[in-house]
Structure 1
Amino acid sequence: MKEVIVVMGISGAGKSTVGKALANRMGMPFLDADDFHPRENVMKMSSGQPLDDDDRWPWLAAIVEHILQSHRPCFVLGCSALKESYRLYLAQRLKLHLVYLEITAEEAHRRLKRRKGHFMPATLVQSQLDALEIPSSAFRLSATLNITKSVDLLAEHFSTLQ
């Protein structure tokens, strides 16, 4: 079964930044879940409309299929994975290790307002917080980090993968 470290959280939490650094440190490929959104999802979010489950299920399926079709055994995936049902879906086909990035709404707004060239507007932070189900004890959580934690510590935590 493919092993995937999912760096999860709301938009602006640092999933891509932390995920890329972790993947680089561990010599694993990084996948950005945003790259798997169909054009319709990107257009919807760009116009300030939040995604719903009907938008997210095909997107998650595309991510899983890409991973399963790859010859690589391990990945780091930057993915919001906002709901427990999404994480459970991923875990049915992949061996997941979750890293939840905590961030305040204020900090997420600040970061998204500064970010250039991305489709996700700061106005959707609240909709992401509304959809977010913090990983529960029912799901094995490998790490919860606030945004100031070191990537080196995280890589050390996962040093047995590969």
Structure 2
Amino acid sequence: MVKKIIVMGVSGCGKSSMGQRLAQHFGFPFFDGDDYHSPENVEKMARSIPLTDADRYGWLQTLNGILRRETCAVVACSALKPEYRELLRTGVEDLEIVYLKGDIDTIWQRHQKRNGHYFNGRSMLESQFATLVEPVDEDVITVDIRQSMDAVFSQCVAQLTELA
């Protein structure tokens, strides 16, 4: 049975919203990766400075610690590269990753409707797409976000339940 879920994708793809819904559905605690960035990382992103691998390393270790500590959990995390996903998986059993896949235009439209988020500007979103290595050869559930959030949720639940 799936006990731990990472909801991944670029900023604005719906990780937090979908993660919260999945956590509620399965009765798991939810952890939003954005809440675990260092103040320095938040400041960089607010100034439209993309994070480096070094910036993300401690953050990913923190999220891995949550996944190892918790019996069940849903974590929203961009997990943009295979090495990030591998670090998140280290020492974690019963883990599935859900990739919320979308194109830059769809996600940019969503970004423009967000209020009060520190992630700032189209150039930041473009940098995330430039960093993203889609998990095509990995054991990851991929869901197209161009459909309604209810349809995305239903597809996520169906695929996660099928794995159980």
Within a 5 Å distance, the mapping from 1:64-79 to structure 2 comes to: 64-70=64-70, 73-79=71-77
CA root-mean-square deviation: 1.8
Number of residues paired by the alignment? 157
Structure 2 residue 103 is the aligned partner of structure 1 residue 101: no
Percent sequence identity is 36
Structure 1 consecutive aligned stretches of length 4 or more whose deviation exceeds 6 Å:
none
- Comparing 40-49 with 150-159, greater Cα deviation is found at 150-159
CA contact (8 A) 1:108 1:122 kept: no
Counterpart AA for 2:92: L
Unaligned runs of 5+ in 1: none
Structure 2 equivalent of residue 46 of structure 1: 46
Structure 2 equivalent of residue 112 of structure 1: 111
Q: Distance in 2 between matches of 1:24 and 1:66?
A: 18
Structure 2 equivalent of residue 82 of structure 1: 80
Offset, 1:154? 1.7
Structure 2 equivalent of residue 153 of structure 1: 155
Offset, 1:89? 1.1
Offset, 1:110? 1.4
Counterpart AA for 1:151: F
Counterpart AA for 2:119: M
CA contact (8 A) 1:109 1:122 kept: no
Instruction: State TM-score, norm by structure 1.
Output: 0.89
Deviation string, structure 1 residues 15-54 (Cα, Å, up to 9, x no partner) = 0111111111111111100010000000000000000001
CA contact (8 A) 2:7 2:98 kept: yes
